[in-house]
Structure 1
């Protein structure tokens, strides 16, 4: 039987880029993996998707021309990816050409958050969550 909650889990995070191939290459270089799926449109990719982490979460990059117009300023939801070492991950992202959007911020109960703006104008959120670490340990346990 399906869980009766409205949200059953995060299935996919989509980012956008004018140049999907450049975004694909940037994320492949940072993540150390190639996308598992690409949809071409004419001579360039229109959508690429990576699978990440123990739960194979999907990170998709879609050509911005397929999305409704947006404002120039980042706004709205920040999807946060769990990381084991938030300081090291933040440093790698900055070294890779991202810009700090939110510095590493220690929260209560062992949580820490941060975010960057990637070279394509997307906000990429990070979190170190003791809750997620416990779930991951139980899954691998």
Structure 2
């Protein structure tokens, strides 16, 4: 617990050590197919590309979603879905799940209410990555958009 608290504490300049989410990275054995799939899902193409890598900006804070050629995965990186799940806010979990399934994703976690104003779900994309999404009342509070 002390280690987590240290990461959320402030530096000598007053800034938090963990200042914000910058990039979520997914591995893909077929980078071109992954770019095409995520371009269709997001309705926009990558804003930055280089050999073996493509990056999208999305959402209210222009967070980055990076796709990396699986050849560059570190030794021992798991090949199966699992581990930590990052959840992206969506306005409708059921509609998002329906769209993702229609695009070839497989359900990983069904829509699950976590309390009033919080519903999570996740899928495994066609490239083996867990893509989490949720309706999150706190996210809307930060934006000042909560109904």
TM-score normalised according to structure 2 size: 0.85
Bigger drift between 62-71 and 114-123 goes to: 62-71
Q: Does 1:106 align with 2:113?
A: yes
Deviations 1:89-129 (A, max 9, x none): 11100111100000000111310000000000000001110
User: Is there any run of 5+ residues in structure 2 with no aligned partner, and where?
Assistant: 1-11
* Aligned position for 2:6: none
* Aligned position for 1:127: 134
Residues in 1 aligned to 2:93 and 2:61: alpha-carbon distance in whole angstroms: 19
Out of 27, 30, 41, which is 2:38 matched to? 27
Residues in 2 aligned to 1:65 and 1:47: alpha-carbon distance in whole angstroms: 11
Q: Does 1:115 align with 2:122?
A: yes
Residues in 1 aligned to 2:83 and 2:141: alpha-carbon distance in whole angstroms: 28
CA RMSD of the aligned region, Å?
1.6
* Aligned position for 1:51: 57
How many residue pairs end up in the alignment?
A: 133
Deviation at 1:3, TM superposition (A): 5.0
Go from structure 1 to structure 2 and tell me whether the alpha carbon gap of 1:3 and 1:63 turns closer, same or farther (over 3 Å shift).
Answer: farther
Residues in 2 aligned to 1:95 and 1:2: alpha-carbon distance in whole angstroms: 48
Say which SS state the counterpart of residue 97 (structure 1) adopts: coil
Bigger drift between 27-36 and 65-74 goes to: 65-74
Out of 61, 70, 73, which is 1:64 matched to? 70
